């Protein structure tokens, strides 16, 4: 549906509210960090199946908040993204501090 088009219930937003998405990203980071020893934002984005994110860079601030909360820590490694829109650019690998009491 094109931007600004209506549906059966009125106008359809092109994306979800950034503040609400930010909270959802934090929940996704915690969920992914609870299941994986190491991960990138690709895994976090995959967790957000119910959200339309207007700006993928919204994930970065959530990663920094999760780091400040002690949930994750950066590594010195990267790996190519699995997101075809990002053209295999390298993404930072994060280490969980939640998985198995790490």
Q: Which of 44, 31, 41, 15 is nearest to 71 (CA)?
A: 31
Give the integer Cα–Cα distance in Å for 47 and 59: 12
Residue 75 has pLDDT above 90, yes or no: yes
Q: Which of 102, 8, 1 is nearest to 94 (CA)?
A: 102
pLDDT digits (tens, 9 = 90+) for 13-61: 555 666 677 788 899 999 999 999 999 999 998 998 876 666 677 888 8
Contact (Cβ atoms closer than 8 angstroms) between residue 79 and residue 91: yes
What Å distances lie between residue 86 and 9, 13, 54, CA to CA?
Answer: 34, 24, 15
Specify the DSSP element, H or E, that contains 65.
helix 59-68
What fold, for 16-101? Arc Repressor Mutant, subunit A (1.10.10)
């Amino acid at each position: 549906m094109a931007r600004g088009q209506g549906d059966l219930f009125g106008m359809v937003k092109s994306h979800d509210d950034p503040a609400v998405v930010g909270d959802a990203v934090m929940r996704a980071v915690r969920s992914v960090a609870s299941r994986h020893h190491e991960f990138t934002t690709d895994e976090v984005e995959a967790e957000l199946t119910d959200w339309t994110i207007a700006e993928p860079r919204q994930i970065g601030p959530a990663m920094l908040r999760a780091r400040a909360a002690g949930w994750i820590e950066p590594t010195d490694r990267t790996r190519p993204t699995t997101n075809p829109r990002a053209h295999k650019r390298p993404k930072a690998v994060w280490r969980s501090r939640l998985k198995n009491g790490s």
